[in-house]
Amino acid sequence: MRPSSSPSEALLRGLSGTPEVDVELDDQRLLQAMLDVEAALAYAGADVGLLPAAVADEIARHCRADRYDPAALGAAADAAGNPVVPLVRQLTAAVAEPARPWVHHGATSQDVLDSALALVVTRAAVPLLGLLDTATDAAAGLARAHRDTVMVARTLGQQAAPTTFGLKAAGWLYGLDAARTRLAGACAALPAQLGGAVGTLAGYGPAGPAMVRRFADRLGLAASPLPWHTHRQPLLDLAAALGGLLAATGKIALDVGLLAQTEVAEVTEGGEGRGGSSAMPHKRNPVDSVLVSAAARRGPGLLGTLFAAATQEHERATGGWHAEWEPLLELVHLTGGAAARTARMLTGLRVHPQRMRANLDATGGLLLAEAVATRLAPALGRAAAHDLVARAAAGTSFRAALLAEPEVRAHLSVADVDAALDPAGWLGSAGELVDRALDRHQRSTG
Of 316, 357, 409, 440, the active-site residue reads 316
Query: Which residues are bridge partners to 164 per DSSP?
Result: 150
Catalytic residue flag (residue 115)? no
Taking alpha carbons only, the member of 391, 396, 426, 421 closest to residue 406 is: 391
CA 441 to chain centre: 17
Residue 116 near residue 329, CB atoms below 8 Å:
no
Catalytic residue flag (residue 182)? no
Residue 372 near residue 382, CB atoms below 8 Å:
no
CA distances from 115 to 125, 190, 332 (A): 15, 9, 16
**For residues 321 and 316, what is the distance between their CA atoms, to the nearest angstrom?**
8
**For residues 88 and 109, what is the distance between their CA atoms, to the nearest angstrom?**
9
**For residues 443 and 436, what is the distance between their CA atoms, to the nearest angstrom?**
11
How many other C-beta atoms are found inside a 10 Å radius of the C-beta of residue 363?
14
Sign for the pseudo-dihedral over CA of 234, 45, 126, 178: positive
**For residues 46 and 55, what is the distance between their CA atoms, to the nearest angstrom?**
8
DSSP category for residue 424: G
Residue 160 near residue 152, CB atoms below 8 Å:
yes
Taking alpha carbons only, the member of 167, 170, 159 closest to residue 361 is: 159
Residues 6+ apart with CB under 8 A from 263: none
DSSP category for residue 156: T
DSSP string for residues in 82-147: SSHHHHHHHHHHHS-GGGGGGTTTT--HHHHHHHHHHHHHHHHHHHHHHHHHHHHHHHHHHHHHTT
Residue 270 near residue 284, CB atoms below 8 Å:
no
Phi and psi at 366, nearest 5°, equal -60, -30
Residues 6+ apart with CB under 8 A from 19: none
- Residues labelled catalytic: 277, 316
